[in-house]
């Protein structure tokens, strides 16, 4: 007798194995590149500043994001501790000099530049030494740069360009104006090089030059400060000139000493708990012509000095300079 076979019918109630539900992907948790760095959210009461070598000078640069506000949060504690020979400030947001900004017996030579718009931009330089000449704005482009650039000439030592580069703005609405500024600044620096000047260009240059200069490059390619246009313009200054004069590019001094370092930033947004997470951008620089590099002792970021501004100060120390 033939073996019987079981046939499935419409009423077959045999259970099927349940489908496996795919677990949602775990959100990647941000981890700082260098967790050893300070992530304080208030300005320190005291600072540990390395002793400056003899016969050297220190220049400090600091975007104060409103000088009046920065002073109320401890600006002068940093100034006294650093005891820099020259201090360059950006984004003072002033339209007239502030006589109480620093001790005028220490910093006898104080120079201010203001934007026409009230409470906007503004730069200042305070010096223990008198420069041979001072220029406000970029020559032949003063109208829109007077509140963003101060140049101090120190005879045969160097020319110091203290600068606050314009931000390209939300949705890059000011990127075209930013590129015009970049073009004029490059030409200005090259003109000084053609005169045989040693140049220091410092300040909030408002660009993260490489992917190592910000926490999240992959999501910021069309964000102000990291567009290919801004980075390319900055590279033009750091590369050899292409106009036939064969002028050497300036050197990003901090990156020169820290070629592969990630996670060391000069700006942390007040939003998104960025400071505590050490999630920032390196937007502030000391760049110099190559002839000055043998005089550069150090180029430092004052990581702990956050809280009086959304930026931290940085310093450049030079030896064998007589001002």
216's tokens: 């999240």
Q: What 3-state class would DSSP assign to 303?
A: coil
Whether the Cβ atoms of residue 296 and residue 318 lie closer than 8 Å to each other = yes
Which residue of the set 85, 115, 204, 213 is catalytic? 204
Measured CA to CA, the distance from residue 52 to residue 237 in angstroms comes to 29
Burial of residue 45, with CB atoms counted within 10 A of its CB: 0-12 exposed, 13-18 middle, 19 or more buried: exposed
* Helix then strand then coil, % of the chain, to nearest 5: 20, 20, 55
SS3 156: coil
Tokens of 225: 């400060």
Active-site residue flag, 204 = yes
**Residue 171 falls in which region: left (phi positive, over 0), alpha (psi -120 to 50) or beta:** left
CA angle 192, 193, 199 (to 5 degrees): 75
* CB burial string 152-172: b at 16+ within 10 A, e below: bbbeebbbbbbbbbbbbeeeb
Active-site annotation holder among 107, 164, 188, 285: 164
Q: Are 31 and 272 in contact (CB under 8 A)?
A: no
Q: Cβ distance 62 to 309 under 8 Å?
A: yes
Give CA–CA dist 6/248, Å, rounded.
88
243 is catalytic: no
d(CA 57, CA 283): 23
**Residue numbers annotated as active site:** 164, 204
């Amino acid at each position: 007798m033939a073996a019987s076979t079981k046939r499935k019918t419409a009423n077959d109630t045999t259970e099927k194995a349940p489908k496996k539900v795919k677990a949602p992907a775990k959100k990647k948790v941000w981890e700082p590149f260098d967790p050893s760095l300070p992530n304080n959210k208030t300005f320190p009461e005291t600072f540990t500043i390395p002793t400056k070598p003899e016969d050297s000078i220190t220049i400090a640069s600091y975007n104060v994001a409103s000088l009046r506000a920065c002073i109320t949060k401890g600006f002068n504690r940093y100034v006294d501790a650093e005891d820099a020979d020259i201090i360059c400030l950006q984004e003072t947001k002033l339209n007239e000099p502030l006589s109480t900004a620093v001790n005028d017996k220490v910093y006898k030579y104080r120079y201010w530049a203001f934007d026409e718009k009230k409470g906007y931009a503004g730069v200042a330089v305070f010096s223990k030494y008198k420069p041979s000449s001072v220029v406000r704005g970029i020559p032949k482009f003063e109208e829109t740069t007077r509140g963003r650039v101060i140049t101090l000439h120190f005879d045969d030592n160097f020319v110091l360009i203290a600068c606050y580069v314009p931000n390209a703005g939300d949705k890059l609405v000011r990127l075209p104006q930013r590129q015009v500024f970049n073009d004029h600044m490059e030409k200005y620096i090259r003109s000084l090089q053609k005169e045989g000047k040693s140049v220091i260009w410092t300040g909030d240059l408002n660009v993260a030059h490489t992917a190592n200069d910000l926490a999240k490059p992959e999501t910021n390619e069309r964000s102000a400060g990291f567009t290919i246009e801004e980075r390319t313009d900055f590279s033009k200054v750091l590369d050899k000139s292409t106009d036939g004069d064969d002028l050497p590019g300036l050197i990003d001094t901090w990156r020169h000493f820290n070629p592969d370092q990630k996670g060391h930033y000069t700006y942390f947004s007040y939003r998104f708990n960025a400071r505590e997470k050490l999630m920032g951008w390196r937007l502030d620089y000391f760049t110099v012509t190559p002839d000055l590099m043998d005089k550069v002792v150090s180029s430092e970021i004052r990581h702990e000095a956050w809280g009086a501004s959304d930026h931290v100060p940085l310093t450049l120390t030079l030896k064998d300079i007589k001002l």
